[in-house]
Structure 1
Amino acid sequence: MISPSNREVDIGSTLKDDEYIGMTRREVLDGYLRDRAIDYGAKPINALVTKIDVPEDADANGRYTVHYSPNDEGRKAPSRSLEVDVIIGADGANSRLAKAIDAGEYNSAITFQERIKISDEQMKFYEELAEMYVGDDVSPDFCGWVFPKYDHVGVGTGTVLDRPAIKEYQDAIRERAGSKIEGGKIIKVEAHPIPEHYRPRRVRNRAVLVGDAAGYVAKCSGEGIYFAAKSGRMAAQAVVKCMKGGSVLPTERDLISEYIKPYDALYGPTYTVLDILQKVFYSSNAAREAFVDMCQSKYVQQVTFDSYLYKKVQGNNPIDDIELLFGAFGSLLRGAAIATPDKAFSNPVESLKRL
Structure 2
Amino acid sequence: MTQQHPARTEGRNQRSRQAVVRLLRERGTLSRAEIARAVGLSPSTVSTLVAALVADGTVLERPEALTPAGGRAGRPGTAVMLNPAGGEAIGVDFGYRHVHVVIADVTHAVQIARSAPLPADYDASLGLDTAAELVRSAVRDAGTDPARILGVGVSLPGAYNPHTALPNSGLPSRWSGIPVAAELSRRLELPVLADNDANLGALAERQWGAGTGFDELVYIKLHSTVGAAFISNGRLTRGAAGGAGEIGHLVMDANGPLCRCGNRGCLESYVGLPQLMRALEPGYGDRITLRDVITKAWQGDRGCIRALSEAGKTAGRAVGMLSTVLNPAAVVIGGALAQAGELLLGPLRESAQAAGLPPAGTSLRILPAALGDQACALGAVALVLGQAGQTPMPTVV
The answer to which structure, 1 or 2, has the higher relative contact order (CA under 8 A, 6+ apart) is: 1
Is TM-score (shorter-chain normalized) higher than 0.5?
Answer: no
TM-score (ref. length: structure 2): 0.20
TM-score (ref. length: structure 1): 0.21
